[in-house]
Amino acid sequence: MLDFYLSELRRFRTGAAIYALANLVILTVLGQVTNLPGMPLEGHLMILILYALSGLGLALYQLGSYRQPSRWIWLQHRPLHRLHILAAIVLAAITLVALAVALPLFAFLAAQDHYSQHVIDSRYFLGAAWLALATFGAWLAGACIMLQRSRWAFLVLALPWVLALHEAAGSTLLALMLACDLVLLVLVATVFRPDRRVGHGAAATIANALPLQAGFYLGLLLAGSLAYQVALMLVGAHPNNSMQVAHGGYIEALRLEPHETMLAGLAASADPRAGAWRAALAPKTVLEIKPDVRKFAVRDFPSNLGWSTLTDGNTMWTFSHDRMMYRGLQPRTLADAGWLGVGGRGETGPFASQPQMLHRRDSLWLVDRHNVYAMQGRNGSPRHVLHIGTAEQVGGGFTAFGAHQLLLTNRRLLIVDAGAAPGAATSIPLPMAFGDLAHVQAAQVADGMLVSFLYGYRQNEGVAASPQVIYLVDRGGHATEVARRELAHDFPALFEHRDWWVSPALHALTRLPGLLVDNGAVPDDGASRFEPLMRARPPVVWIAAIVATLASSLGALWWTRRTRMTPRERAAWCLACLLLGVPALLSLVVLRPRAPVPAKAPATALTA
């Protein structure tokens, strides 16, 4: 095994050295041009793609050369267990990735930390380790693609997509990537055998079938959705690109001017004062706010949801997850400007989470999960404005409206009078889940303040209820519901619930990792984190799901007639198709191709 390991290293040592050097040089140059670790997620994703392509390319070349029949025999036909040979090749790949990817990344970060004034959090080192693991994961995926006999092997790429790509803390991401790599390693091990076929053992079959099914599931959703929407566009009937939208529907409501939306909602009101309110509403008298903070960066997330810097006069402040405070830098002199905490300059206390900046006209506000701060003056000191308690989270929309400030949380809309104590705020509970809220509108009328909540943000994710609810907040601060209308759906139910009826089980399986991991999303108050798996489905969607699974099971019954399977294996596949639907049937076709029926035996040979 050691011989093979050294042999593979010898094979790629020059390439790895050149790659490592080029990697370090490029990182260093980019590090001079921009704050590479502090750049937004999109930039880091580009870096991830480049490293992943390197890992994938290495595997395609390395294993691709061994896959040629004569080389494959040379590699496998020897007195070594196949897993020992694989271990040598895998260890060589790990070493190469460590040398060419991890080492330059760590060297770059260490140099930046030591020689520059950039904020280099420990999360960036976790990110570098994650990138190296992701590169190795791409190598493993490439090995799977190259070794499996099926042309559909590329669907294994669904595995890191589902399992490892989340906006979570660095340690969580590392654990997920490690788990993903281990699963991929098992997949490679199942096909790293002389005949390169997935064995008929239950464990090997399940290990190969599940990622394939997840890949088919995601592929079907993507392709089906794309095909349907392109067809709608071609006939000019796509709701997002046409004037023909459902009357009284969600998209129509989004296209209306704010006062028109309020008027449409009030049209459904039975309140005798509604006519007067409608008459009083004019353009520009209605304020619209949006839940513009749907997500906070998780602490120690190795990337950034946007640039994490705020500039104040001569100082550029960059948020540090290690200290949960801003660190200042004078851009012209690159001199350290110290720290900025919740109490202003200096180490005056950490923020509850990485704050998000809300720009409102000429003012700047910082919000973390539970607090609102006003950034004031040229010295950039934050002033604490509001604390909402730890039971709920800020959802954005912090905007001045007359003498009031409106603030959305995941539980309620707060109307705070200017100058009043935060505890004296008027509070309107959200009529539905925060995640479904599209926008909130407010207008002053003679009887008080009309507040409209428009829902339907997750219509396309299978949330059925999309109401517009209007409250009247009277002078005493009491909120009364005065109007409610249900918005029509712009797409058919089968499209909105497509990710469920195609395969309810795979829907749950592919959503589960994302639901279990804290990705920083502002949660729906009081809702289970598994709510997306428990949504009510309309009858037509249930029928579609049942038909799909039954058809898949019958398809499996027909397909397995001409495959060499034991009755037990055949029954297991039919049951799997009944449970997992069409993706399971497709995986059956790939993993268990139909065998040709041998003709009758020919005449016997001539022998001495």
Partner 1 sequence: MNAQLPEYVIDTDGLCLYYKDKPALDHLTLRVPRGGIHAFVGANGAGKSSLFRVLLGFEPASGGSARVLGHDCAHLPPSLRERIGFVNEEHTLPAWMRVQDLARMQQRQYARWNGARYDEVLRHFNVLPAQKVGQLSRGERAGLNLALALAQNPELLILDEPTLGLDVVAKQVFLDALLQATADDDATIVYCSHQMDEIERVADNLVILEHGRLRYMSGPDDFCERVQLWVAAFPDKAPDLWQLPGVLRVQAIDGLSHIVTFDQDESVGARLKLLGATSVQAMPLGLHRAVNAFLAHGHAGTRRAA
Binding residues for partner 1, rule: CB under 8 A, are 3-4, 7, 10-11, 68-74, 76-81, 194-195, 197, 595-596, 598-599, 601-602, 604-608
CA–CA distances in Å: residue 101 to residues 8, 54, 164, 192: 17, 9, 19, 26
539/598 with CB nearer partner 1: 598
Residues 6+ apart with CB under 8 A from 20: 99, 100, 101, 103, 104
62/303 with CB nearer partner 1: 62
128/590 with CB nearer partner 1: 590
- Quote the least distance from Cβ 147 to partner 1, whole Å: 13
- Quote the least distance from Cβ 62 to partner 1, whole Å: 12
Within a 13 Å sphere around the CA of 366, how many CA atoms are in the beta-carbon half? 28
Assess contact for 267 and 273: CB atoms under 8 A.
no
Amino acid type, 76: Q
- Quote the least distance from Cβ 193 to partner 1, whole Å: 8
* Burial class (CB within 10 angstroms; exposed 0-12, middle 13-18, buried 19+) of 248: middle
- Quote the least distance from Cβ 125 to partner 1, whole Å: 34
566/604 with CB nearer partner 1: 604
244/607 with CB nearer partner 1: 607
- Regarding beta strands 437-445 and 448-455, do their DSSP bridges make them parallel or antiparallel, or are they unpaired? antiparallel
Count of beta carbons in the 10 Å neighbourhood of residue 212:
27
- Quote the least distance from Cβ 606 to partner 1, whole Å: 5
72/495 with CB nearer partner 1: 72
Assess contact for 473 and 451: CB atoms under 8 A.
yes
Q: Supply the DSSP symbol for 102.
A: I
- Alpha helices (H) in 235-364, listed in sequence order: 250-255, 258-266, 274-280
CA torsion, ordered 388, 391, 394, 397, to nearest 10 deg: -70
Assess contact for 367 and 356: CB atoms under 8 A.
yes
- Quote the least distance from Cβ 92 to partner 1, whole Å: 12
Edge-to-edge, what's the strand order for the sheet holding 363-367? 356-360, 363-367, 371-376, 381-387
- Quote the least distance from Cβ 597 to partner 1, whole Å: 9
- Quote the least distance from Cβ 95 to partner 1, whole Å: 16
Q: How far is CA 346 from the centre of its chain?
A: 36
N-term to C-term CA, the chain: 46
Assess contact for 193 and 201: CB atoms under 8 A.
no
- Quote the least distance from Cβ 51 to partner 1, whole Å: 24
69/539 with CB nearer partner 1: 69
Compute the distance between CA of residue 231 and CA of residue 436 in angstroms, rounded to an integer.
27
534/597 with CB nearer partner 1: 597
- Quote the least distance from Cβ 6 to partner 1, whole Å: 8
Place of tokens 């180490």: 347
3-state secondary structure of 326: strand
Rg for the chain (alpha carbons), in Å?
30
- Which tokens sit at 190? 């199942």
Amino acid type, 104: P
Compute the distance between CA of residue 570 and CA of residue 209 in angstroms, rounded to an integer.
14
Assess contact for 217 and 583: CB atoms under 8 A.
yes
- Quote the least distance from Cβ 200 to partner 1, whole Å: 10
3/362 with CB nearer partner 1: 3
201/389 with CB nearer partner 1: 201
14/244 with CB nearer partner 1: 14
Output phi, psi for 154, to 5 deg: -60, -15
Q: Supply the DSSP symbol for 488.
A: B
Compute the distance between CA of residue 142 and CA of residue 155 in angstroms, rounded to an integer.
11
- Quote the least distance from Cβ 352 to partner 1, whole Å: 56
